[in-house]
Chain A
Amino acid sequence: LPAYLRRANAAQSLTIATLHNDDDPDVKAWNKVAEVVEQKLPGQFSFNIVKNAALGGEKEMTQGIRLGSIQGALTTVSVMSAYVPETQILDLPFLFKSAEHLETVTAGEVGQGLAAKLAKSNFIVPAYINYGARQLLTKEPVLTPDQLKGKVMRVIQSPLHTKLWAAYGANPTGIPINETYNALSTGVADCMDLTKAAYAAFKLYEVVPDMTETAHIWAAGVMSYGAMFWNGLSDDQQEVFTEASKAGCAHFNALLKSQEVEAMAEAAKGGGKVFQPEDRPAWVAGAKPVWSEMADKVGGMEAIEAIANG
């Protein structure tokens, strides 16, 4: 049904923004939230999920949440660093050993501490998600860091990413994601990094067929609501939304794992090959300067090492 017809008989409408389409875990996670809320609070809320980045990219989404045009969204933690720099601790390279490690940390004290800081910036975060690990994507196999020397690496425009790849001797260049395929096929860039799901979604295996499973940075995400909206809810309603969000995020993490398997099957069919990194100490060594440089911003070296050794 078109949104405006639904809205006529629903109590309170929430605009949820997403970059993705119906089949993506992102949208299915919000459907799950809506389902739980409807079950517990029938007829009180209607979720209007606006898809395909129609309300902008991640930065626009967070601004919309603060200014009240958007009530909820799933975003990466990275975009939140513009408000709470400490969130970058989750973006540090070679910090997490596995998906489980990341999920334990975000569900634990670290995650709660960051959520409290985000709440001060008007983002209410009841639960975290895991978008998967970023992997190195190249035109020919790259197994050790020294093979990156002199290569033009497409990165997100962020000092953290820029520093990491510069530490390996690569030449980091910021290119918008929708221009990246073209830039790689014409030779503006030689390599990049991305999560497995996005790798297949953008058909990047056609231009950077070799994936090295470095899992160097894990892309954590948050399900966040605007404080303006959240504070208008009763305590009971807040409890239901918290529970629903946790269910939605758990659903997301489960879906993402199967999406990654499908993505890699699609990439393999399109000529993609997977390699394991060699000389792991050399990779980790490149990340250490980033840790020390970011330490002050993210709460100190002890906090970083506590996670790494956890």
Chain B
Amino acid sequence: MTYQNTDTRSGAAKGRGLQVQALARALHRGLSALLGAAAAFVLLVMLVIVTVNIVLRYGFASSILGAEDAGIWLNVIIVSLGAPLALGSALAMRLDVVQTRLGARGQAVSAVIADTITLLSGLAIAFGGAQVVQLVGGSSDALGLPESIRFGFFAVGGGLVLVMVVLEQIASGRMIECAIALVAALAIYFGAGQVHLSPGLPPSICAALIILLGVAVSAPMPHAFFAAAFLAIPLGASIPEPAMINIAVNGASKFLLLAIPFFLLSGTLLTVSGVAERLIRFAAACVGHLRGGLGQTTLLTNLMFSGASGSSIANAAFGSVTLYPELVRNGYRPERAGAIVAASSILDNVVPPSIAFLVLATVTNLSVGKLLVGGLWAGLLLAAALFVALRLTVNEAAVQPRAGWGLRGHTFLRALPAFGLGLIVVFGIRFGIVTTTEAAAAAALYSVGLAVIFARARGAGLLQAFRGSAIEAAAIGMMIASAHPFVSLLAIDNVAGLVKQAASLLGSGPVAVTLLAVIILLIAGLFIDTGAAILILGPLLLPAAVAAGLDPITFGVIIVVTLMIGGLTPPLGVLIFVVAGITNVPSSALFRSVVPYVAALVCALILICAYAILSI
């Protein structure tokens, strides 16, 4: 950065600057620790409430009145506390492809624009949220508390985003840039109320263009969404600022979404407890002797892991830490090894439990139970496609002898605790003992048990797991919240009607609609995060698909699978970024190496589409 430390007037001034910098760093660190601990604690409370309710219901035929609302409110609090922390993590959802091609000056300018966008979003959340507190009225029947509390926490979260961005900028010595961004954000925020423009474009399209600008300058995606919804108001949008924050918070206030932090917690603790390692040994005993045995072991491990965890990002991170070094040690080229890990991690969001399907269910009202069953079949098909692709691409000599049945049995028994997790989830949801959220909570509690028993995890280790899961869940929750105002703008402009019309121009038959949908989803997957794309495109594409006679559940599976494949493609391929971030293999090399596996996944996708069309 060429702009750093421009303060060279005098040693004393420089000294003061450094003091301020050190103070900001200390404040940033202290606030992060405080927020992280608070978010972890709220997640613990939420887990306790949901599991106590299960025990009461099935053990004592009673329940805590208001447990559902309480859980929802706590989840909003986790998002509010954790979102400021997510800014500095890999889950900030920043696209850096454009940025890295700019010169130093261009990068500096785009960084200031990105900060302005984040600060503008923080201002809109803080002030808009405060207005909601005043205006929303009403109370939760079940909790007997005013509705405004939920929005108050979110407003505080917006304020914390502002504080964290400013502290982080000062701590890294970017005082002037920080001042410029702050002044710009304040000027835009307070100026926007005075302006009414009619750009001749529908407000939703204006918002989309602003989002694209935000994504291009590498602003965190959720904040690009908030800033865009706010800036759409002077451009003619009919959603006032408080309503926009209200819509965002309501979007994240679904009981089903509580499953996200619970599933993230299970995934993390599965690794912490060492039970995930046992899965690898069992997988190796089953398929290690095959051609490309270690690649096949990676695939099978990921398939089993995905039956217990719901986040592909968690799966990619787990694979990068545990499976990738094994592959490289046994002669796989690093980029090939990383590509195998990334490609097989998509199974996690397709095989139940799956955060992607949870998000789709909340926004379309499709049954999450039916979606998960569809996801199971799709996941097995995708795994089969990857199995074939691995056989064709990996030329490794078999490094392992075929394991005897004794070893297989032994490793199977040792892996049993992990299968217990899968059983809780599948039986819980499918056979109706508990709802999806409760199954997720039971799974999380079970993995806390695994961590305590097998890894002797105690306070600090568990706190770390709760904290990490809460921040990750907050990042996802913030994305979900931020996408909702934009989704409402699209609904008010009836863009779904336009998509339906476009589909009917292509013949409105199921083939045309499926083709159009897959193309739109693949293009969206290039640029936007999977969760956001599901929220935006699910309600846009589903009506056209249903009108064409396609089964909504199968179509939902197509949406998720297509967008997950987008996680492996440039420029924005979240799974590739996660693997690149951990393994230090350049993402460009990974994008090249993953091509055969993407091709295999696309073949499986075509089969699913064919099934959807032929089964009408």
Contact = CB atoms under 8 A, between A and B. Distances in A.
Interface of A: 2-4, 13, 15, 48, 50, 52-56, 59-60, 62-64, 66-69, 81-83, 121-122, 150, 157-159, 162, 171, 173-176, 178-179, 181-183, 185-188
Interface in B480-504: 487-488, 491-498, 501
Given A56-B250, A63-B138, A162 B65 contact: yes
Given A159-B65, A182-B432, A186-B430, A56 B247 contact: yes
B370 interface: yes
A157 B492 contact: no
Given A63-B250, A66-B136, 18 more contacts: A3-B492, A3-B497, A15-B238, A54-B496, A56-B250, A67-B135, A69-B244, A82-B137, A82-B140, A82-B147, A121-B137, A150-B61, A176-B255, A181-B367, A182-B370, A182-B432, A185-B432, A186-B432
Interface of B: 57, 61-63, 65, 68-69, 132, 135-142, 147, 202, 238-240, 242-244, 246-247, 250, 255-256, 361, 365-370, 430-436, 487-488, 491-498, 501, 539, 543
27 contacts: A3-B497, A4-B493, A48-B494, A53-B365, A55-B247, A59-B250, A60-B246, A62-B138, A66-B135, A67-B136, A67-B242, A67-B243, A69-B238, A69-B240, A83-B138, A122-B137, A159-B65, A159-B142, A162-B65, A173-B57, A179-B369, A179-B436, A182-B369, A182-B432, A186-B369, A186-B431, A186-B432
A203 to B, nearest CB: 12
A171 B243 contact: no
B493 A2 contact: yes
Contact of B61 (A54, A162, A171, A188): A171
Interface of A is mostly: mixed
Contacts of A55: 247, 488, 491-492
A247 to B, nearest CB: 25
Contacts of A48: 492, 494
A60 B247 contact: yes
A108 to B, nearest CB: 26
Contacts of B256: 176
Given A63-B246, A162-B65, A171-B61, A69 B239 contact: yes
Contacts of B244: 69
B247 A64 contact: yes
A59 B249 CA distance: 13
Nearest to A170: B61
A159 B246 contact: no
A309 B202 CA distance: 55
A128 to B, nearest CB: 20
A67 B239 CA distance: 9
B432 A2 contact: no
Given A64-B246, A67-B242, A158-B141, A175 B435 contact: yes
Nearest to A228: B240
Nearest to A84: B138
Contacts of B366: 178
Nearest to B240: A68
Given A67-B136, A82-B147, A158-B141, A52 B543 contact: yes
B249 to A, nearest CB: 10
B367 A179 contact: yes
A81 B366 CA distance: 28
Contact of A60 (B250, B539, B543): B250
Contacts of B68: 157, 174
A-B CB proximity, top 10 nearest: A186-B432, A69-B243, A54-B491, A4-B202, A82-B138, A67-B243, A188-B432, A3-B494, A182-B369, A69-B239
A2 B434 CA distance: 43
A109 to B, nearest CB: 25
B238 A13 contact: yes
Given A55-B488, A63-B246, A171-B61, A179 B435 contact: yes
B439 to A, nearest CB: 11
Contact of B493 (A3, A64, A150, A158): A3
